[in-house]
Structure 1
């Protein structure tokens, strides 16, 4: 996606000008103002909206945040970030980078698990007891709640080993590897029926290749979101500093 010029034009901007410099349509600019995503525009004597460079920076910030975290989350975040201090805004964006890094790490681990599933064949019989995890340990490693693992089991996505007289769940290496694949696909938005079909077909070459393609697509999307978030930085800093400037006059 091509980015608009870096420096917005100085002076009052018409709606069409703000739209052109931010990459939105005039109606989208008006809608984002109505939703409170960007500050209200001043009005000229004849009633027309007068936007500024700060509005263009805010529009670009929203564009980047929407690409990184989705439009709903971006609409909630940007009004708060506009009134934050520069340190607070930087901290919020850093937290998003950390979240994306964790998503990337989990997708990479899922790729490694997929390759291990393909290569292990009969090796599971030689897995050590020390390699197994409890439900709490596995949930912590995946960054999900134990209830998610129970739900996956209920839906046929994951099969734990059951040990001890209390039938406490324990997960051996094959189950741990499958859980990593399930976690990555679920976080990518795939529904339970799709994931069930994918997990059920992992033993076949077609299922293996399709899963590898899906995980590759997941990593590509995370990379695109990370780049979008990097591009937010300068525009968001300009928005925050503009909000902190005392009104003229």
Structure 2
């Protein structure tokens, strides 16, 4: 096969195919005596797997998976796949938690501090974001943690953690901070949840689409692994 043969199947440019090979997303191609690349069905299978992984996990993770495969580090490749599924499961759990909470929202004050209160570092670690991101959400009015009187450090209660989980979910769904501040404010005050319901339904649809994409990608990656010499 020529680069154009692989490119045509996916509507890509031949340069894109060559770039994918150069970046390690495809196995190295043999060359003719005159220097032209020769691709095989194995390369076609690799390209199908890579593009499906992009749709399921994003370009960076898809590239990491393919590079690990071509380095014969299958454990690393599968770990990256597992992390994607783990993140999807966490997103589903957070979504379900928030949807359940909608029916129980009241205008009562937030729960009293408990032994499970978290520091900013613990919350950032839980969400896999930086402390600077948490502070940015606070500046946007999304989070309103109290301060420890003795140390001045932020203290995040169960209600704050719920708001942060919701914020993280909506940020991955592409929602701007201004919109999230409104949605989280509605959760906090129970002053109407229509926009929250709409946002959660949109994100549920995205999670479903991503889950299906992961199934497709897993099948194509498995087919590629079986096709390799």
The interval holding the TM-score normalised by the smaller chain is 0.7 to 0.9
Give, in angstroms, the shift of residue 161 of structure 1: 2.0
2:90 aligned with 1:105, yes or no? yes
The verdict on how the C-alpha distance between 1:102 and 1:77 changes in structure 2, with shifts beyond 3 A counting, is: closer
Root-mean-square deviation (Å): 3.1
Measure, in 1, the Cα distance between the counterparts of 2:99 and 2:91.
12
The farther-off stretch of 39-48 and 158-167 is 39-48
Aligned to 1:196: 181
Task: Find the partner of 2:197 among 196, 205, 209.
Answer: 209
Query: Is the CA contact (8 Å cut-off) linking 1:38 and 1:59 kept in structure 2?
Result: yes
Aligned to 2:218: 230
Query: Is the CA contact (8 Å cut-off) linking 1:61 and 1:236 kept in structure 2?
Result: yes
Runs of 4+ residues deviating >6 angstroms: 45-48
Measure, in 1, the Cα distance between the counterparts of 2:34 and 2:26.
22
Give, in angstroms, the shift of residue 122 of structure 1: 4.2
For structure 1, the residue ranges without an aligned partner over 5 or more in a row are: 1-12, 243-249
SS in structure 2 at match of 1:134: coil
2:151 aligned with 1:163, yes or no? no
Query: Is the CA contact (8 Å cut-off) linking 1:198 and 1:207 kept in structure 2?
Result: yes
Query: Is the CA contact (8 Å cut-off) linking 2:3 and 2:18 kept in structure 1?
Result: no
Task: Find the partner of 2:76 among 88, 91, 113.
Answer: 91
The verdict on how the C-alpha distance between 1:29 and 1:59 changes in structure 2, with shifts beyond 3 A counting, is: farther
Query: Is the CA contact (8 Å cut-off) linking 2:99 and 2:200 kept in structure 1?
Result: yes
Give, in angstroms, the shift of residue 66 of structure 1: 1.3
Report the count of equivalent residues. 222
Give, in angstroms, the shift of residue 55 of structure 1: 1.4
Aligned to 1:246: none
The verdict on how the C-alpha distance between 1:59 and 1:129 changes in structure 2, with shifts beyond 3 A counting, is: same
Give, in angstroms, the shift of residue 72 of structure 1: 4.8
SS in structure 1 at match of 2:18: helix
Task: Find the partner of 1:24 among 10, 26, 48.
Answer: 10
Measure, in 2, the Cα distance between the counterparts of 1:177 and 1:119.
13
TM-score by length of 1: 0.72
Measure, in 2, the Cα distance between the counterparts of 1:97 and 1:76.
13
Rg larger in structure: 1
Task: Find the partner of 2:114 among 113, 130, 133.
Answer: 130
Measure, in 2, the Cα distance between the counterparts of 1:106 and 1:48.
46
SS in structure 2 at match of 1:166: coil
The verdict on how the C-alpha distance between 1:39 and 1:76 changes in structure 2, with shifts beyond 3 A counting, is: same
Query: Is the CA contact (8 Å cut-off) linking 1:106 and 1:142 kept in structure 2?
Result: no
